[in-house]
Every structure is written in structure tokens, then in C-alpha cells.
């Protein structure tokens, strides 16, 4: 098992499959990575892209969007193709009724890459996006070069009590009172005023963007469907813990903020113990959004991981052997994870 660090070091990227992305650079970060759209099964999926080089697929959290990755994309685009989609029900993507499970999101990401003529990618997932990344690697290991979990969901039962409350019956009827449109109209000028004067912090701004998105009725409905697919009133209802041993031959990086109040740091240590040869980096002084709160430090850690690891190559024989062997601590796993269903 790799040593636990508190920060990474700057480094240069490694080689790999290259994908070209064309487009002029604009004045601001969000204009530099404008939202594009692609149709998947008749639904419009928004995404941002940039750079050229080995492909990084960047997956956001619940109530988030591709915008959360813009600071990191700015720092990575010189050496990598950076792709940040909006999940169905989020950001600029369609918000239809239907399946908002991890498995469906993972399948959509497979189709997304296929439509862009990209065979494989390093998959980087934050929060809910981390759960989708795990599911993607489980369903489509041949398409996954490396895994990066950033304060990821799906690694334990514990989660912030506010998220548990939102999964209660009839919560969707209370949410319009909790997320009124006038708060959005009042809060946006305040956020711009404070941001323009260097007041506030990136983590709070990210949480405001998530809150703001829930003032729209379609976003609220999609949010509740997504939440109930992975969380119940008792906590996270989906766990990947019993299958993490299957990533034994997949280079895996775990990044966590030591001040995360959404998903506890203990989950990072559990995952590090469960994933052979994984690397854990705990960033001091940040919360649930390391890639936003400390993008330079986050990218240094990510670059070092990419430089010092080789993309995984699926060996069906090795996968079969792992499945036959199972986890070494299956009895412990069964008792620990019996509280909720598995991926």
C-alpha cells in the first residue's frame, strides 16, 4: 500500500492516447471552455473540453456541473485533453424523468466517450462523480486507464445530515420553500460583489452555485431523483467497498480535503486500505472541493500521479483470477456493508 501524503509535487505529464481539440481561446476561464452539446439517446448532454494529449474525464458532484472543473482544466489543458460533461439532470444537460442511477450515468459516460471517438481515459470523479467513476471502472474496465477519487461518494454509509433529510418522503414539495428564486436573484449580485473584491472563498462559492441551481424546478426534480438513487435517510445507500479489490491492477489516486464536512475523511483511509497499491493525498485546510479550493495544489498532485503511473491494460485472465479469489476479508466485508445495497 502506498504512503499517505499531505500534498503532491509538481511534475510533467506522461504519454498516452492523444485526442485533438480545436477552438480559439477566450478572455475568461468559462469562455475559454464554452459549453458544447451532444445528443445521447435523444437527450442533450452539455460538456466542456479543451487541450490536447492523454484524455482526462472529469466528473462533477450532485447539484454541480462541468463548471466546477474549469480552474483545474485551465492548468491541465497544456498537456492533456480535458473533458468535463454535465451529468443528465445537471448543468446544461437535459433533465428528463427517468433513471438517475450510478449505472446509468456510467453507461452515459461510455457512450459520451464513444461519440467523441475516445477509446480510453483517466477518470477523475468528485463526490457523486467519484461514485460514477467507480461504477464506470467496474462496468467498463477496458476503457479506464486510471482512477482518481476526489472526496468521493460510495465508500461508506456516513454523509452530511442535510443530504439525508432531502431524501425523506415529500421533500420535493418542501424544497421550493427552501430554494426560492428571489434568493438566487439577491445572492448573485452579492456573490459577484464579494468575488470581485477578493472576499469569500472558493468552497463557499461552489456551494452557492449548487444552491442556486436548485432554485429551478427542473433542477430540483432531477436533484431529488439523483439523491434517492444513492442516499436514504440513514446515509449513503450504495457502496463500492466490496468490489474495490477489482481495481488491484488499476492505478488509483485518492484525494481528500481534511476539512470535508460532507463526506468524512475516514472514507478516504478505508478506500486506501481496500485498494491495493493506491495512493492517498490528504490536502490540509480544504473541504469538499479540493479541485476548486486549491486548484494549483490539486493539479500538482494529479500531474505527479499521471507522470509516475502507466495506464492500466485490461487482462481478462487477471480479472477472472481476482473474481475467483474474491476479497481476502470477505467475512469482514459482509458484516461491515450489510447495512446497504451494493453497486
The set of catalytic residues is 127, 260, 288
Q: Which residues contact 329 (CB under 8 A, 6 or more apart)?
A: none
By three-state DSSP, how is residue 55 classified?
strand
- CB 13, CB 80: distance < 8 Å: yes
CA gyration radius for the chain? 19
Per DSSP, 160 falls in state: -
Q: What is the C-alpha separation between 64 and 85, in angstroms, rounded? A: 11
Q: Are strands 144-150 and 252-257 parallel, antiparallel or unpaired?
A: parallel
- CB 19, CB 311: distance < 8 Å: no
- CB 291, CB 126: distance < 8 Å: yes
Burial 193-219 (b: 16+ CB within 10 A, else e): eeeeeeeeebbeebbbbbebbbbeeeb
- CB 190, CB 197: distance < 8 Å: no
Per DSSP, 260 falls in state: -
Amino acid at each position: 500500500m502506498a504512503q499517505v501524503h499531505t500534498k503532491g509535487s509538481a511534475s510533467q505529464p506522461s504519454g498516452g492516447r492523444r485526442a485533438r481539440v480545436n477552438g480559439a481561446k477566450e478572455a475568461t476561464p468559462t469562455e475559454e471552455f464554452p459549453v458544447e452539446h451532444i445528443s445521447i439517446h435523444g437527450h442533450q448532454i452539455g460538456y466542456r473540453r479543451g487541450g490536447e494529449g492523454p484524455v482526462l474525464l472529469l466528473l462533477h458532484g450532485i447539484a454541480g456541473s462541468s463548471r466546477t472543473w474549469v480552474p483545474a482544466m485551465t492548468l491541465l489543458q497544456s498537456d492533456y485533453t480535458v473533458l468535463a460533461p454535465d451529468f443528465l439532470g445537471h448543468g446544461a444537460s437535459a433533465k428528463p424523468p427517468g433513471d438517475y442511477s450510478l449505472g446509468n450515468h456510467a453507461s452515459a459516460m461510455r457512450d459520451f466517450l464513444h461519440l467523441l471517438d475516445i477509446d480510453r481515459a483517466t477518470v477523475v470523479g468528485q463526490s457523486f462523480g467519484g461514485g460514477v467513476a467507480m461504477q464506470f471502472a467496474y462496468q467498463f474496465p477496458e476503457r479506464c486507464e486510471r482512477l482518481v477519487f476526489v472526496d468521493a461518494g460510495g465508500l461508506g454509509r456516513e454523509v452530511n445530515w442535510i443530504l439525508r433529510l432531502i431524501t425523506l418522503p415529500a421533500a420535493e414539495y418542501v424544497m421550493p420553500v427552501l430554494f426560492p428564486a428571489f434568493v438566487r436573484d439577491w445572492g448573485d449580485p452579492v456573490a459577484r460583489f464579494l468575488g470581485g473584491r477578493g472576499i469569500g472563498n472558493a468552497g463557499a462559492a461552489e456551494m452557492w452555485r449548487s444552491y442556486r441551481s436548485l432554485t429551478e424546478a427542473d433542477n430540483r426534480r432531477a436533484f431529488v431523483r439523483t439523491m434517492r438513487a444513492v442516499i436514504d435517510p440513514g446515509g449513503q445507500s450504495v457502496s463500492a467497498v466490496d468490489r474495490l479489490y477489482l481495481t488491484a491492477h488499476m492505478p488509483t489516486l485518492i484525494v481528500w480535503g481534511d476539512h470535508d464536512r460532507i463526506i468524512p475523511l475516514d472514507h478516504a483511509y478505508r478506500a486506501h486500505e481496500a485498494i491495493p497499491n493506491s495512493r492517498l493525498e490528504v490536502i490540509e485546510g480544504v473541504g469538499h472541493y479540493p479541485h476548486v479550493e486549491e486548484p494549483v495544489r490539486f493539479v500538482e498532485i494529479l500531474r505527479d500521479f499521471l507522470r509516475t503511473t502507466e495506464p492500466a491494460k485490461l487482462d481478462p485472465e487477471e480479472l477472472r483470477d481476482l473474481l475467483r479469489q474474491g476479497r481476502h476479508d470477505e467475512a469482514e466485508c459482509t458484516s461491515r456493508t450489510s447495512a446497504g445495497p451494493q453497486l
